[in-house]
Amino acid sequence: MSAVLAATVGLGNIAGVSIAIHQGGPGVLVWMWITALVGSIIKFYSCSLSIKMRDNESYKEPLAGPMYYMKAGIKKYGKTLAIWFSVAGLFGVLPAFTANQLTQSYIDVLNPSQLIDLGDFWWKLIIGISLTILTSLVIFGGLKSIVRITSGLVPFMVVVYFLIGLFILISNYSIVPSTFKLIFVNAFDFNSAVVGGFWGLILIGIKRAVFSSESGVGLAPIYHGQSTTKRSTDEGLVAMLGPILDTILICTITGLIIIISGAYEVQELNGIVLTLEAFRRLFFGFGDYLLIFMISVFGISTLLTYSYYGVKCYGFLTKPEKGKYYNIIYIIAIIFSALATVEIVIGIIDIAFALMAIPNMIAILYLGKHITKEMKERSWI
């Protein structure tokens, strides 16, 4: 579970929320909550299917994930859907957002140009290269201890983040009720100025919640499919905690802090820069430095573990033992991601996630009956 948390709880829960509020206003949180609740059900089915229909015979470790339950469970078009999912996955799991927002946070808070005035481009390149070297040492050099440390730190940092967020909310308790009122009023504003109006607001909430929790996209089943559990629905129950933890809990805390701080009203602030400013305003003037430490743990753990998904997608398209060659593409993408704008990065991820979700949702709807049957056998329904 800690490995899944390391890959799921990341900058999407911190920077992704700020992007959502920047684009759609405070009300977007309501639609993120609704999406997360629906997403937890989707994750239950998808991760249960991953256990139930995994391939335990063809390779030295279980071959699991959407591509395998598509191939095994849908006879006629299953392989086509699996290839579709895997190709989209090669792009969807690139470290674009994490590398981009980590780089931007270091530029904004540490301001390295004060030491040596090279300009943002060159500092972004230096940071991107540094992240590339670190990731390469782990992926190619076998420094697995770093993965163990960062993955182990994630649950602890989630607790720390929650406690700091709780402290900020308690310190501003008088504003919290009016903040929730603002969120719900804005969520159902049928005259919203957001691009696309009311439906555009809902779409932003759905996209950012999906990006945060990966519900419906089909990434978590790849990890959960490695579980040693015997009952598929047991793993599904564990998987349901993901959207609740990262969207209902972490994203809500982030969103409330951003709204209470008033930083979201500054149009120039977006992404991780907005969240950093909100923490700076509400936590003794140095909350941004504290946050940068936490997002470094979240971000680097995601950076080091996310390539696993791409390896499995590439392994399905070729052979499982050749999946490791995807890491070369993954490493190169870190540098380009560090230099790109957040708008370009978000655009790429949104398209890739949508293309992954389509075949995965088709498979879940078609194969979900097998999980429902197991639930009935266990007298759950």
pLDDT greater than 90 at residue 205 = no
CA distance 32 to 40: 12
pLDDT band at 297 (very low <50, low <70, confident <90, very high): confident
The whole-model pTM stands at 0.90
> How many folded domains does the chain comprise?
1
Quick: pLDDT tens for 368-377. 999 999 999 8
Q: Residue 54's pLDDT is what?
A: 93
Provide the domain limits for residue 50: 2-377
Kindly state the average pLDDT of the residues 293-299: 87
Half-sphere exposure of 340 (CA within 13 A, CB side): 20
Percent of the chain with pLDDT over 70: 93
Q: Residue 8's pLDDT is what?
A: 65
User: Are 26 and 259 within 8 A, CB to CB?
Assistant: yes
Q: Residue 213's pLDDT is what?
A: 78
Q: Residue 190's pLDDT is what?
A: 77
pLDDT greater than 60 at residue 180 = yes
CA distance 262 to 269: 11
What would you report as the CA-atom Rg of the chain, rounded to the nearest whole angstrom?
20
pLDDT greater than 80 at residue 194 = no
Q: Residue 202's pLDDT is what?
A: 85
What single string gives the DSSP state of each residue in 115-126?
Answer: TS---HHHHHHH
- Name residue 63's beta-bridge partners: 55
Q: Residue 1's pLDDT is what?
A: 59
Q: Residue 92's pLDDT is what?
A: 94
Burial 85-96 (b: 16+ CB within 10 A, else e): bbbbbbbbbbbb
Q: Residue 21's pLDDT is what?
A: 93
Kindly state the average pLDDT of the residues 134-161: 75
Q: The domain spanning residue 126 has which CATH number?
A: 1.20.1740.10
Kindly state the average pLDDT of the residues 62-87: 95
pLDDT greater than 90 at residue 157 = no
pLDDT greater than 90 at residue 52 = yes
User: Are 149 and 305 within 8 A, CB to CB?
Assistant: no
CA distance 115 to 295: 23
Identity (one letter) of the amino acid at 94? Answer: L
Kindly state the average pLDDT of the residues 159-166: 91
Q: Residue 203's pLDDT is what?
A: 87
Kindly state the average pLDDT of the residues 200-228: 87
Q: Residue 95's pLDDT is what?
A: 93
User: Are 310 and 139 within 8 A, CB to CB?
Assistant: no
Q: Residue 139's pLDDT is what?
A: 84
What single string gives the DSSP state of each residue in 143-172?
Answer: -HHHHHHHHHHHHHHHHHHHHHHHHHHHHT
User: Are 298 and 157 within 8 A, CB to CB?
Assistant: yes
**Dihedral pair phi/psi, residue 55, rounded to 5°:** -100, 110
The pLDDT mean for the chain works out to 89
Instruction: Name the one residue in this structure whose structure tokens are 């279980």.
Output: 62
SS3 188: coil
pLDDT band at 181 (very low <50, low <70, confident <90, very high): very high
Quick: pLDDT tens for 269-287. 988 999 999 999 999 888 8
CA distance 338 to 333: 9
Kindly state the average pLDDT of the residues 352-358: 95
